[in-house]
Chains A and B, each alone.
Chain A
Amino acid sequence: MSDTLLEIDNLTVDFQLPTGTVSAVKHVSFSLQPGETLALVGESGSGKSVSSTAAMRLLPELARTSGAIRFKGEDLLRATPRRMRHIRGNAISMIFQEPMTSLNPLHRIGRQVAEVLEKHRGLKGRQARAKVVELLEQVGIPDPARRIDSYPHELSGGQRQRVMIAMALACEPELLIADEPTTALDVTVQAQILALLKDLQARYGMAILFITHDLGIVRHFADRVCVMRRGELIESGPTAEIFDTPRDDYTRMLIDADPRGRKAPVDPSMPVLFEAKNLQVRFTLKKRLFRASEHFEAVRGIDLTIRRGQTVGIVGESGSGKSTLGRALLRLLDSRGEIRFDGQDIAALDTAGMRPLRSRLQVVFQDPFGSLSPRMTVGEVISEGLRVHQPALDRRQREARVIEALEDVALDPAMRNRYPHEFSGGQRQRIAIARALVLKPEFLLLDEPTSALDRSVQVTVIDLLRDLQQKHGLTYLFISHDLSVVRALADTVLVMKAGQIVEQGATEEIFANPREHYTRELMRAAFVDAA
């Protein structure tokens, strides 16, 4: 066992909260050999991040740890703070899930990388700067000699994560802890970052402890896998073994959690519900008094037809204009071009003119935490639209409709007097769907409704959406960056890039036979296998 790099031995982490003690990690043991990649897998609340953060002794003060975390035989839980500071960023370094906020916004990136070199290697001035340029070059920052003086906000999310990696690798650590390093990034960027990590691992021979909820990544990236659930380690073994012969039901469920089922295409004779011609949206970046203002063309001339009963999926990376397109169609944003809903030209309608149509056009947003008012009970949230659109209903009738809507989304109607914070993410998204359904709409704009949810919860929400579509004859416009979700739900797919449609067609057709390079790249990056 002498060559074991990291050994987590019977680790328990409790958080002492005012409301009582919460055990985040319970008697977890695993180990990591030099140069190995171990994936720690689990859904939110499984304790995977807490375990790895404990190894760096970076948990908040409320945390109580017991057991042992041995790094090359030395128990880190008993190391002095001084000794820990020597290890952090030097022998063990860490990259995080939030590339946008993990760098100090007020310091130039070069200085932030150089700080590690100064601390652990005593490099200063020109020497440090030369080394930083070299590191930035290695992690693939273009024009590093100039970029070294950039501030974080001048870089994209992917580039910031590269800077974090440069910082983590500056002292050539023996262990890199990567806590969901690609979760916040677009799929193509994610693929680049993973390739970079693999490449650097080969060069430096470091071990990687890779924390993720995404099994697609694990299969391609890790040597061994540990599956965690509710603070316990439930299964571990070589990656191939875990994927081929999972012993635990939960592991099996995680592996199978790719949403299943397909939607049959809608008969082309179905009436057209939504039609847009040459739709354009532009945002004013800078208003100028005497010169032409600066604009950003978010949607550049899109033609779109949605038939009744169809689910049109829009895929694309962040900034591709997919959400803007959805909002423009529903006249939640100003746009140019023609929009017809159910035969009526709605492009020219003002707010008051749109109002009667609003109950037929509903939206469900991505963030199940931010989009429900925390001060209203679930019943109030759901019935609010009824008060506006059907003021004739009395209290009892409204109540009946709320109950009906909650039953539709498979929630207990007795819960309608509770507040949103008492519900899980998946339940809140069901509430958001019930809020939309209570008005009996014909059309739902679903803007990344499953992106914030764990894979296993996603599957149930997708099933629910498909059932509701059947039951109520709904038409969906489904926006997502997640190709496997779109594949399960949509019968037609539009692939968007830079405000334009680069490819469209029947879902099965696109997935089986993507014509455009960009579409193929998206699929490869997302590890979606051709059917």
Chain B
Amino acid sequence: MLTYTLKRLLMAVPTLLIVITISFFLMRIAPGGPFDGERQLPPEIEANLKAAYHLDEPLPQQYLRYMGNLLQGDFGPSFKYKDFSVTELIAQGFPVSLEIGGLAILLALLVGLPLGVVAALRRNSGLDYAVMGVALAGIAVPNFVIAPILALVFGVLLAWLPAGGWNGGALPNLILPVIALSIQQIAYIARMMRASMIEVLGSHYIRTARAKGLSERQVIWRHAIRPALLPVTSYLGPAIAGIITGSVVIEQIFGIPGIGRYFVQAALNRDYTLVMGTVVFYGALIVLMNLLVDLFYSALDPQIRYDD
């Protein structure tokens, strides 16, 4: 298990390297630069700034310099938030992003799994069709549409909840963004759980469980739920990635000071180092989460053992 974990972490290195390289050059290909503001800077000042940040060097040299600094754990300074290093900005934003992301995953599982199970048990009933219909809508409508609608209805028209802002992470401020972030995942998880539950209920070992004289409740709780969870578990990796990328938009819409908002603004401002920092951070996070999900999967399924 330990060897396997180390191996997977080692394998993450080339993955991250590719991610970093591609985003580094993509970012530089995009027109504009970090100092193209509304106010035109005098050419001499701009040249000085560029020299200070080594932006006047040839691109390959800049790339090597960036990678060298990265190896030492240095993400560099932010071009826009001049008094902060990228590391400081990420350290500030991450707890906020983690809170709404973690809550969103939790909500998605707590709502999605039972919905899927119920739909599977009442297959082809009105309830099943209703749940699956709503789930389909949840998948089809992107979160940048859902979020403003939620803000409009519950924040403005009904005025039950704040339409935006963070307010130090107060509960009312959390509710709408977390819901907006989790709706798509709820829908996916419900559909997956339904399909996998139906498959498990038709399997031979469920027939065996019934032939033992177990009650329906025992059959479902003891024999069906855990195997049905396996495919959903392997989906958790992509689900977490989905939540992370979703939070980029959601944080922007609700004005939440997480990493996602920095990321969007940094991209718009061509804040190269901040963009790269968040990309590296997100990449590492997703790789790590996938590893955790796989380890969790092996805990659920005795047929999977990572012994090498």
Interface pair A115/B212, CB less than 8 Å apart: yes
Interface pair B204/A86, CB less than 8 Å apart: no
Nearest residue, chain A, Cβ from B303: A153
Interface pair B210/A103, CB less than 8 Å apart: no
- Kindly state whether residue A96 has any CB partner on chain B within 8 Å: yes
Known A90-B213, A116-B213; judge A96-B208 contact (CB<8 A).
yes
Interface pair B213/A87, CB less than 8 Å apart: yes
C-alpha spacing A86/B212, complex, angstroms:
9
- Kindly state whether residue B65 has any CB partner on chain A within 8 Å: no
Q: Cβ of B303: which chain A residues have Cβ within 8 Å of it?
A: 105, 151, 153
- Kindly state whether residue A312 has any CB partner on chain B within 8 Å: no
Residue interface bits B209-225, CB-to-A below 8 A is 1, else 0 = 11111110000001100
- Kindly state whether residue A93 has any CB partner on chain B within 8 Å: yes
Interface pair A106/B213, CB less than 8 Å apart: no
Interface pair B214/A106, CB less than 8 Å apart: no
Known A88-B211, A119-B212; judge A98-B302 contact (CB<8 A).
no
Residue interface bits A45-87, CB-to-B below 8 A is 1, else 0 = 0000000000010100000000000000000000000001111
What's the nearest-Cβ distance from chain A to residue B221, in Å?
12
Interface pair A106/B227, CB less than 8 Å apart: yes
A window 115-162: CB within 8 A of B: 115-116, 119-120, 151, 153
What's the nearest-Cβ distance from chain A to residue B81, in Å?
44
Q: Cβ of A96: which chain B residues have Cβ within 8 Å of it?
A: 204, 207-208
Interface pair A58/B210, CB less than 8 Å apart: yes
Interface pair A105/B205, CB less than 8 Å apart: yes
C-alpha spacing A317/B79, complex, angstroms:
71
Which among B212, B222, B227, B308 has the highest number of chain A CB atoms within 10 Å? Answer: B212
- Kindly state whether residue A453 has any CB partner on chain B within 8 Å: no
A window 84-115: CB within 8 A of B: 84-90, 93-94, 96, 98, 101-107, 115
- Kindly state whether residue A396 has any CB partner on chain B within 8 Å: no
What's the nearest-Cβ distance from chain B to residue A457, in Å?
25
Among A58, A88, A119, A151, contact of B302 (Cβ-Cβ < 8 Å): A151
- Kindly state whether residue B245 has any CB partner on chain A within 8 Å: no
C-alpha spacing A96/B210, complex, angstroms:
13
- Kindly state whether residue B234 has any CB partner on chain A within 8 Å: no
C-alpha spacing A167/B207, complex, angstroms:
13
- Kindly state whether residue A483 has any CB partner on chain B within 8 Å: no
Interface pair A89/B213, CB less than 8 Å apart: yes
Q: Cβ of B209: which chain A residues have Cβ within 8 Å of it?
A: 104
What's the nearest-Cβ distance from chain B to residue A124, in Å?
15
What's the nearest-Cβ distance from chain B to residue A235, in Å?
29
Q: Cβ of B214: which chain A residues have Cβ within 8 Å of it?
A: 85, 89, 115, 119
- Kindly state whether residue B226 has any CB partner on chain A within 8 Å: yes
Among B203, B210, B211, B302, contact of A101 (Cβ-Cβ < 8 Å): B203
- Kindly state whether residue B300 has any CB partner on chain A within 8 Å: yes
C-alpha spacing A89/B226, complex, angstroms:
23
Q: Cβ of A167: which chain B residues have Cβ within 8 Å of it?
A: 208, 212
- Kindly state whether residue A164 has any CB partner on chain B within 8 Å: yes
Nearest residue, chain B, Cβ from A177: B211
Q: Cβ of A93: which chain B residues have Cβ within 8 Å of it?
A: 211-212
Interface pair B213/A104, CB less than 8 Å apart: no
Nearest residue, chain A, Cβ from B209: A104
Among B203, B211, B227, contact of A89 (Cβ-Cβ < 8 Å): B211
Known A151-B302, A153-B303, A288-B308; judge A103-B212 contact (CB<8 A).
no
C-alpha spacing A56/B209, complex, angstroms:
12
Nearest residue, chain B, Cβ from A90: B213
C-alpha spacing A221/B210, complex, angstroms:
28
C-alpha spacing A93/B9, complex, angstroms:
50
Interface pair A104/B211, CB less than 8 Å apart: no
Interface pair A103/B213, CB less than 8 Å apart: no
- Kindly state whether residue B74 has any CB partner on chain A within 8 Å: no
C-alpha spacing A167/B226, complex, angstroms:
21
Q: Cβ of B215: which chain A residues have Cβ within 8 Å of it?
A: 85
Nearest residue, chain A, Cβ from B224: A104
- Kindly state whether residue B199 has any CB partner on chain A within 8 Å: no
C-alpha spacing A85/B217, complex, angstroms:
12
- Kindly state whether residue B301 has any CB partner on chain A within 8 Å: yes
- Kindly state whether residue A203 has any CB partner on chain B within 8 Å: no
B window 266-308: CB within 8 A of A: 300-303, 308
Nearest residue, chain A, Cβ from B205: A104
What's the nearest-Cβ distance from chain A to residue B62, in Å?
35
What's the nearest-Cβ distance from chain A to residue B225, in Å?
10
- Kindly state whether residue A286 has any CB partner on chain B within 8 Å: yes
Interface pair B308/A119, CB less than 8 Å apart: no
Interface pair B213/A105, CB less than 8 Å apart: no
Nearest residue, chain A, Cβ from B230: A106
C-alpha spacing A151/B210, complex, angstroms:
20
C-alpha spacing A37/B40, complex, angstroms:
97
Interface pair A58/B213, CB less than 8 Å apart: no
C-alpha spacing A89/B303, complex, angstroms:
27
Which among A89, A93, A167, A288 has the highest number of chain B CB atoms within 10 Å? Answer: A89
Interface pair A98/B204, CB less than 8 Å apart: yes
Interface pair B308/A286, CB less than 8 Å apart: yes
Interface pair B308/A153, CB less than 8 Å apart: no
C-alpha spacing A376/B17, complex, angstroms:
44
Nearest residue, chain B, Cβ from A111: B222
Interface pair A56/B211, CB less than 8 Å apart: yes
C-alpha spacing A105/B300, complex, angstroms:
11
Q: Cβ of B212: which chain A residues have Cβ within 8 Å of it?
A: 88-89, 93, 115-116, 119, 167
Interface pair B211/A58, CB less than 8 Å apart: yes
Among A102, A115, A116, A151, contact of B204 (Cβ-Cβ < 8 Å): A102
Residue interface bits A273-313, CB-to-B below 8 A is 1, else 0 = 00000000000001010000000000000000000000000
Nearest residue, chain A, Cβ from B200: A104
Interface pair A86/B207, CB less than 8 Å apart: no
Nearest residue, chain A, Cβ from B226: A106
C-alpha spacing A163/B211, complex, angstroms:
14
Among B213, B223, B300, contact of A86 (Cβ-Cβ < 8 Å): B213
What's the nearest-Cβ distance from chain B to residue A76, in Å?
13
Among A102, A151, A153, contact of B208 (Cβ-Cβ < 8 Å): A102
C-alpha spacing A94/B209, complex, angstroms:
11
Interface pair A102/B205, CB less than 8 Å apart: yes
C-alpha spacing A393/B214, complex, angstroms:
63
C-alpha spacing A56/B213, complex, angstroms:
10
Nearest residue, chain B, Cβ from A108: B302
Interface pair B213/A101, CB less than 8 Å apart: no
C-alpha spacing A86/B214, complex, angstroms:
9
Q: Cβ of B226: which chain A residues have Cβ within 8 Å of it?
A: 106
Interface pair B223/A104, CB less than 8 Å apart: yes
Q: When A and B form their complex, which 8 residue pairs have the shortest distance between CB atoms, in order from nearest?
A: A88-B213, A89-B212, A89-B213, A101-B204, A104-B205, A151-B302, A85-B213, A102-B204
A-B pairs with beta carbons under 8 Å apart, 17 shown: A58-B210, A85-B214, A88-B210, A89-B212, A90-B213, A102-B208, A104-B205, A104-B209, A104-B227, A105-B227, A106-B300, A107-B222, A115-B214, A115-B222, A119-B212, A153-B302, A167-B208
> Could you tell me which A residues sit within 8 Å of B by CB distance?
56, 58, 84-90, 93-94, 96, 98, 101-107, 115-116, 119-120, 151, 153, 164, 167, 286, 288
**With A85-B215, A101-B204 already in contact, 6 other A-B pairs whose C-beta atoms are closer than 8 Å:** A86-B213, A96-B208, A103-B205, A107-B222, A115-B222, A153-B302
